[in-house]
Amino acid sequence: MSSYRAYHQTSVQTSDQLTLIVMLYDGMLRYLRKAHTCIEVQDIEGAHNYLMRSKDIVNELLSTLRVEKAGEVGGNLRDLYLYMFRRILEANLNKDPQPVQDVLRIAGTLRQGWLQIKSQRSQHKQATLAQQKRAKFRAQG
Q: Region 15-41: what's the mean pLDDT?
A: 95
Mean pLDDT, all residues of the chain? 87
Buried-exposed string 60-95: b where 16+ CB fall within 10 A, e elsewhere: bbbeebeeeeeeeeeeebeebbeebbebbebbbeeb
Q: Region 76-104: what's the mean pLDDT?
A: 97
Of the pLDDT bands very low, low, confident and very high (cuts 50, 70, 90), residue 14 is very low
State which CATH number among 3.40.190.10, 1.20.120.340, 3.90.110.10, 3.90.1150.10 fits the domain covering 3-140: 1.20.120.340
What are 33-55's pLDDT values in tens digits?
999 999 999 999 999 999 999 99
Statement: residue 4 has pLDDT above 50: no
Of the pLDDT bands very low, low, confident and very high (cuts 50, 70, 90), residue 78 is very high
Domain residue ranges of the chain, discontinuous segments joined by +: 3-140
Judge contact between 82 and 103, C-beta under 8 A: no
Give the distance, in angstroms, between the CA of residue 69 and the centroid of all CA atoms in the same chain.
19
**Three-class DSSP category at 98:** helix
